[in-house]
Amino acid sequence: MDKPFAITLDPGSSLANRTGSWRTFRPVYVDRLPPCNAACPAGENIQGWLFHAEAGDYEKAWLTLVENNPLPAIMGRVCYHPCEGACNRGQLDESVGINAVERFLGDEANRRGWQFAPPLVSSSGKRVLIVGAGPAGLSCAYHLRRLGHQPVIMEAARHAGGMMRYGIPQYRLPRAVLDAEIARLIDFGIDIITSAKVEDVESTMREGGFSACFLGVGAHLAKRAYIPAGDAARILDALTLLHDVEAGEPPLLGRRVIVYGGGNTALDVARTAKRLGAEESIIVYRRTREKMPAHASEVEEALQEGVAFKWLATIKAADEGEVMIEKMRLDEKGFPQPTGELERLPADAVVLALGQESDLSLLDNVKDIEIINGVIQVDDNKMTGRAGIFAGGDVIGGEKTVTAAIGHGKRAARAIDAWLSGRTYAPPKKPEIATFERLNTWYYSDAPKTVRPTLDLVRRQSTFDEVVGGLTEDNALYEARRCLSCGNCFECDNCYGVCPDNAVIKLGPGQRFRFNYDYCKGCGLCAAECPCGAIVMVAEEI
Amino acid sequence: MHEQPIKFYQTGTFTVGNRLLPPEQRTVQSRIKRYNSLNSGHRACQGCGEALGARYCVDAAMEAANGRLIAANATGCLEVFSTPYPETSWQLPWIHSLFGNTAAVATGIAAALKVKRAKGERRHIRVIAQGGDGGTTDIGFACLSGMFERNDDVLYICYDNGGYMNTGVQRSSATPPAARTATTPSLEGALGNAFGQGKFLPEIALAHGIPFVATATVADLHDLEAKVRRAMEFHGARYLHVLVPCPLGWGFPSHETIKMARLAKESGIFPVFAAESGEVVASAPIRRKVPVEDYLRPQKRFAHLFSPTLNLAALARLQELADRNIRKYRLLPETL
Ligand SMILES: Cc1cc2nc3c(=O)[nH]c(=O)nc-3n(C[C@H](O)[C@H](O)[C@H](O)COP(=O)(O)OP(=O)(O)OC[C@H]3O[C@@H](n4cnc5c(N)ncnc54)[C@H](O)[C@@H]3O)c2cc1C
Ligand SMILES: Cc1ncc(C[n+]2csc(CCOP(=O)(O)OP(=O)(O)O)c2C)c(N)n1
Ligand code: SF4
Ligand code: SF4
Ligand code: SF4
Ligand SMILES: [Mg+2]
């Protein structure tokens, strides 16, 4: 061997020394469930679509969003965004404005004419009857179509949309937005037959050759309370009023309107009354502001528009031009109790907004469906006692929101898909929640939330123009980038950078990373310095 | 309407990379094809701050020198864990020197390159020297001061882990006051390293009036790389002093190396600044100020300050050292 003087060995690389054998813990990449996703009743992958929005790829963001929810422009306006309440960034400064970005994406899609990705599986040809074109029915139809089935929606009203059209007023949800998102669903291959009330589900299914059915009939019958009223008293119900306004035939209300109830419907009616010209619009509610089921932001907006509130009061009687109210007090359990103290209020009209129930006459001939207190009973997969008939939305009770209805429709569609092929749907196991404690928040830049602009007050009191505005592109991008990407790698390269042993392999944009266990010593630095908690240290079997 | 400038990048420059940043603002370390000047398979402890700091610095210098770089290396952990004969982790021309003469060896290489250039060498080859705090502030100090004073064309990088770690954690003149080492034990009456001794070499380097002096930590990569880049823009003697926490010698779990460096900087106990031609030109401001106690408490070398009794007097003196740094280097906005 020809070696220089005093040299006995070939020079070698330290790569021969596999330091991975030192390890007692190994780092592993994980995807956790961000709290926003976990809180979304429609099961949106919020972190997932924000990831694309952050990079300015709005179409990809929108496409990711609509994998779970086909109505983002509507959602971005009417959803009460429980996601934001759960958002980890709320513990840092303020929650991410998820709902505002969602609306921005929905509006962009409408503006630019983006379309859904084609259905996942080629057509199964199986026809599914959907009763009702509210959010529950639309969502179920969309997801069935995605899975390759042929949904047909039968809708009693003249137009599709359910409460999104005949309940939620235009100043919160402009009809052009609603129409655009419904039109996209029709383009996607969903048949919607309007002015087609289903009178008897079993016969409609039989005659139409439907293999399964989803009931999304909502709750449209106004609940009434007994109020002794003189002949000349003008008493209306909230849903009829909102329906008539939508149909272009607003009722005459007079100068003073009293709205009875404490839910969102009461607020919408009171705000609508203002817009119809009432000088005074007063909400009478038997409990306190804190106990009101209506959403705080809507109470705030109503107050700004001059709606007045009478807390802790019930209506005892109504007569021409006035009502008699009784003051209440809350007992130890928080229930309102009468005090016997009475007061007269001038009122030209009283609108009852005391909740709704479902018209279930279409089920009269269906056996095996259990109905308790007017609510259809379903299992986890939204199936009723009658195999093959599913239900969701307001008709199954619980959380009565557009978002929940969309979630029900999705879950039912997956269950129907399984049922059609003789299986029972089992949802994939959810990963652990990416809690705030798992984050290394040092790495996130400080940034307060962007505020959505609101319409000026004069226009809000006289017109049905939309009250809350959208974000500009700059603002939407800024807001999206406030996301911490909880529990899911966002390719910050920290693990790749901080490893003293170069034991992290970078796979390239969108491909994330891999560990090189030949050299990883298991120090745990990568896991400690991952901002979003996407790495765990797992004990090695030794 | 509330307009926001769009210059907001989620993690800004705090993380190693950031897919949202324009490519020119990303770090050398974040690249898929980086130099990895210090390769895998080295024998540094788990979570070694020095191994990490060395790859950060040398890769950045390699980038600035277009890959034409020679390194001289003092004895110490860095040398021992990277080159047990016949293996080497170094992916650049690298020469081992004695414990105390690295600066002189690098000076020699720089001089040789000068001669070669005079004889027609076209390539622009640069030189760095690197060593631990012991090799730099103690035994290598004479050679280093000479290198400064002659303004030799070398970037000297000191990896400060606050002691002679390679030989079993003995005190150096960079060991912080109150720290327990093998030679400054915590016994009754002698609570670790004495106050009022030691030296902060960056200030001595600065006093030489050399073109560039800076400090950095492994907790802020963007700052560290910017300093190496800036240093490489100068010719003549340059000095970079990098704080590299040592899990073994300081007594903290191996996954907290970066956290320790961050706490050192955020408490003010280790000032991060840059100086050109003898004048401080920039300080890295404290972002989320913490009391010095937050930095000390997790480290076993300071355990005697907290138990069996809380040594408030020593803690107050250490806090005063941090506060002095904050005043002196204007580390907080209100001190500007
Ligand atoms: C005034 C008001 C404001 C609201 N504001 C909000 C809000 O801001 N955010 C929010 O999340 N939620 C809001 N909600 C609640 C929300 O609108 C409902 O929870 C949601 O629309 C329920 O969806 P659904 O699909 O179950 O029923 P619906 O939207 O009620 O749709 C049911 C549809 O089924 C049709 N149908 C019924 N029976 C038959 C039949 N036999 N044959 C054929 N078709 C039939 C109906 O015509 C209707 O179109 C509001 C509700 C009201 C009343
Ligand atoms: C002249 C001389 N004295 C002592 C030693 C033994 N020795 C080797 S490394 C070292 C300590 C190194 O400390 P430092 O420079 O801080 O580097 P670290 O190991 O902490 O990175 C000592 C004392 C030596 N190699 N040569
Ligand atoms: S920071 Fe982002 S991922 Fe985390 S909870 Fe908020 S929106 Fe979801
Ligand atoms: S930082 Fe590197 S060596 Fe440490 S656990 Fe992570 S991959 Fe392994
Ligand atoms: S440190 Fe960054 S790149 Fe690595 S897993 Fe976490 S988020 Fe992804
Ligand atoms: Mg040392």
Three-state secondary structure readout of chain B: CCCCCCCCCCCCCCCCCCCCCCHHHCCCCCCCCCCCCECCCCCCCCCCHHHHHHHHHHHHHHHHCCCCEEEEECCCHHHHHHCCCCEECECCCEEECCCCCHHHHHHHHHHHHHHHHHCCCCCCCEEEEEEEHHHHHHCCHHHHHHHHHCCCCCEEEEEECCCECCCCCECCCCCCCCCCCCCCCEECCEECCCCCCCCCHHHHHHHCCCCEEEEEECCCHHHHHHHHHHHHHCCCCEEEEEECCCHHHHCCCHHHHHHHHHHHHHHCCCCCEEEECCEEEEECCCCCCCCHHHHHCCCHHHHHHCCCCCCHHHHHHHHHHHHHHHHHCCCCHHHC
Ligand 2 pocket test target in B50, B57, B75 with most atoms within 8 Å of CB:
B75
Q: Which structure tokens are listed for B171? A: 């005190």
| pLDDT tier at B189, thresholds 50, 70, 90 | confident
Side-chain-side CA neighbours of A318 within 13 Å: the count stands at 23
Give chain B positions within 8 Å (CB) of A55.
19-20
pLDDT of the residue at A1: 55
Give chain A positions within 8 Å (CB) of B5.
474
Instruction: Enumerate residues 97 to 156 of chain B having a beta carbon within 8 A of any beta carbon in chain A.
Output: none
Task: Tell me how close the Cα of A38 comes to any Cα of chain B, in angstroms.
Answer: 22
pLDDT of the residue at A372: 96
Does any ligand 5 atom lie closer than 6 A to the CB of residue A492? yes
- Chain A interface includes B1 (CB < 8 A): yes
Give the number of domains in chain B.
1
Which of B32, B257, B288 faces A525 most closely, judged by CB atoms? B257
Residues of chain A with pLDDT under 50: none
Give chain B positions within 8 Å (CB) of A529.
258
Which of B6, B38, B43 faces A477 most closely, judged by CB atoms? B6
Asked if residues A352 and A235 have their Cβ atoms less than 8 Å apart, the reply is: yes
Q: Which structure tokens are listed for A110? A: 């409408």
Q: Report the atom number in ligand 1 closest to the C-alpha of A400.
A: 19
Q: Which of B155, B152, B146, B129 is nearest to B73 (CA)?
A: B129
Q: What is the CA radius of gyration of chain A?
A: 28
Cα angle value B22/B28/B29 (rounded, 5°): 110
Asked if residues A142 and A185 have their Cβ atoms less than 8 Å apart, the reply is: yes
Distance CA B193, CA B187 (A): 11
Asked, for residue B327, whether it belongs to a domain, the answer is yes
DSSP state of A157: S
Domain membership of residue B207 as a residue range:
34-335
The answer to whether the bond into B308 is cis (omega within 30° of 0) is: yes
Chosen from B3, B7, B11, B32 to mutate, greatest number of chain A CBs within 10 A: B11
Distance CA B217, CA A411 (A): 51
Identify the residues whose C-beta falls under 6 Å from ligand 3: A 34-36, 46-47, 50, 87-89, 96, 98, 483-486
Which of B2, B10, B46 faces A451 most closely, judged by CB atoms? B2
- Chain B interface includes A519 (CB < 8 A): yes
Does any ligand 5 atom lie closer than 6 A to the CB of residue A530? yes
Asked if residues A488 and A34 have their Cβ atoms less than 8 Å apart, the reply is: yes
10 Å Cβ neighbour count for A131? 29
Main-chain dihedrals φ then ψ at residue A230, nearest 5 degrees: -70, 160
Q: Which of B230, B228, B202 is nearest to B215 (CA)?
A: B202
Q: Report the atom number in ligand 5 closest to the C-alpha of A490.
A: 7
- Chain A interface includes B92 (CB < 8 A): no
Q: Could you tell me which residues come within 8 angstroms of residue B65 by beta carbon, excluding any fewer than 6 positions away?
A: B124, B125, B126, B232
Distance CA A309, CA A235 (A): 19
Distance B167 CA to ligand 2 centre (A): 6
Which of B2, B11, B258 faces A498 most closely, judged by CB atoms? B258
Task: Tell me how close the Cα of A64 comes to any Cα of chain B, in angstroms.
Answer: 19
CATH code for the part of the protein at A222-355? 3.50.50.60
Kind and range of the H or E run holding A58: helix A58-65
- pLDDT tens digits, one per residue of B45-99: 999 999 999 999 999 999 999 999 999 999 999 999 999 988 999 999 999 999 9
pTM of the model as a whole:
0.93
Q: Report the atom number in ligand 4 closest to the C-alpha of B255.
A: 4
Distance CA A153, CA B87 (A): 73
Does the A127-219+358-420 domain belong in CATH 3.50.50.60? yes
Distance A527 CA to ligand 5 centre (A): 8
CATH code for the part of the protein at A18-31+489-539? 3.30.70.20
Length of chain A: 542
DSSP state of A454: B
Could B4 and A478 be called an inter-chain contact, meaning their C-beta atoms sit closer than 8 Å?
yes
- Chain B interface includes A450 (CB < 8 A): yes
Could A518 and B40 be called an inter-chain contact, meaning their C-beta atoms sit closer than 8 Å?
yes
Cα angle value B184/B185/B191 (rounded, 5°): 90
- pLDDT tens digits, one per residue of B105-139: 999 999 999 999 999 999 999 999 999 999 999 99
Which of A17, A491, A516 faces B43 most closely, judged by CB atoms? A17
């009417």: which residue's tokens? A78
| pLDDT tier at B140, thresholds 50, 70, 90 | very high
Main-chain dihedrals φ then ψ at residue B247, nearest 5 degrees: -55, -40
Instruction: Enumerate residues 410 to 449 of chain A having a beta carbon within 8 A of any beta carbon in chain B.
Output: 442-445, 447
Q: Which of B98, B181, B178 is nearest to B143 (CA)?
A: B98
Measured between CA atoms, the residue of chain A closest to residue B16 is A494
């003008």: which residue's tokens? A234
Distance CA A158, CA B113 (A): 88
pLDDT of the residue at A49: 98
Does the A35-114+446-480 domain belong in CATH 2.60.300.12? no
Distance A400 CA to ligand 3 centre (A): 24
B122 burial class (0-12, 13-18, 19+ CB within 10 angstroms)? exposed
Asked, for residue B23, whether it belongs to a domain, the answer is no
The answer to whether the bond into A509 is cis (omega within 30° of 0) is: no
pLDDT at B1 over 70: no
DSSP A264-288: HHHHHHHHHHHHTT-SEEEEE-SS-
Rounded mean pLDDT, B254-270: 98
Antiparallel, parallel or unpaired: β A191-193 and B69-73:
unpaired
Distance CA A285, CA A225 (A): 13
Distance CA A493, CA B20 (A): 12
Nearest CA to ligand 4 atom 4: A523
Could B4 and A475 be called an inter-chain contact, meaning their C-beta atoms sit closer than 8 Å?
yes
Q: Which amino acid is at B223?
A: D
Asked, for residue B242, whether it belongs to a domain, the answer is yes
pLDDT of the residue at B4: 42
Does any ligand 4 atom lie closer than 6 A to the CB of residue A26? no
Could B40 and A502 be called an inter-chain contact, meaning their C-beta atoms sit closer than 8 Å?
yes
Q: What is the CA radius of gyration of chain B?
A: 20
DSSP state of A468: B
Could A502 and B87 be called an inter-chain contact, meaning their C-beta atoms sit closer than 8 Å?
no
Q: Which of A483, A531, A491 is nearest to A509 (CA)?
A: A491
Distance CA B159, CA B141 (A): 14
Per-position b or e across A145-166, b if 16+ CB within 10 A of its CB: bbbbbbbbbbbbbebbbbbbbb
Give the ipTM.
0.96
Q: What is the CATH number of the domain that holds B218?
A: 3.40.50.970
Asked if residues A104 and A78 have their Cβ atoms less than 8 Å apart, the reply is: no
3-state SS of B111-139 is HHHHHHHHCCCCCCCEEEEEEEHHHHHHC
A274 burial class (0-12, 13-18, 19+ CB within 10 angstroms)? buried
Task: Tell me how close the Cα of B197 comes to any Cα of chain A, in angstroms.
Answer: 32
Distance CA A481, CA A469 (A): 20
Does any ligand 4 atom lie closer than 6 A to the CB of residue A530? no
Instruction: Enumerate residues 468 to 497 of chain A having a beta carbon within 8 A of any beta carbon in chain B.
Output: 472, 474-475, 477-478, 481-483, 490-494, 496-497
Give chain B positions within 8 Å (CB) of A482.
8, 10
pLDDT of the residue at A92: 92
Does any ligand 5 atom lie closer than 6 A to the CB of residue A486? no
Q: Could you tell me which residues come within 8 angstroms of residue B119 by beta carbon, excluding any fewer than 6 positions away?
A: none
Q: Which structure tokens are listed for A452? A: 């959505």
Q: Which structure tokens are listed for B199? A: 């030296």
Measured between CA atoms, the residue of chain A closest to residue B253 is A523
pLDDT of the residue at B289: 96
- Chain B interface includes A10 (CB < 8 A): yes
Give chain B positions within 8 Å (CB) of A442.
14, 262, 288
pLDDT of the residue at B336: 52
Q: How many CB pairs under 8 A join A and B?
A: 171
pLDDT of the residue at A389: 98
Give chain B positions within 8 Å (CB) of A9.
85-86
Asked if residues A282 and A291 have their Cβ atoms less than 8 Å apart, the reply is: no
- Chain A interface includes B227 (CB < 8 A): no
Distance CA B119, CA B105 (A): 21
Main-chain dihedrals φ then ψ at residue A96, nearest 5 degrees: -70, 140
- Chain B interface includes A4 (CB < 8 A): no
Rounded mean pLDDT, B164-184: 98
Distance CA A504, CA A523 (A): 12
Task: Tell me how close the Cα of A226 comes to any Cα of chain B, in angstroms.
Answer: 48
Distance B154 CA to ligand 6 centre (A): 21
Task: Tell me how close the Cα of B253 comes to any Cα of chain A, in angstroms.
Answer: 8
A120 burial class (0-12, 13-18, 19+ CB within 10 angstroms)? exposed
Q: What is the dihedral of CA A435, A441, A447, A449, to 10 degrees?
A: 10
pLDDT of the residue at A77: 97
Asked if residues B206 and B213 have their Cβ atoms less than 8 Å apart, the reply is: yes
- Chain A interface includes B89 (CB < 8 A): yes
DSSP state of A386: S
Which runs of E-coded beta strand occur in A218-367?
221-222, 235-237, 256-260, 280-284, 308-310, 313-319, 322-330, 336-346, 349-352, 356-357
- Chain A interface includes B42 (CB < 8 A): yes
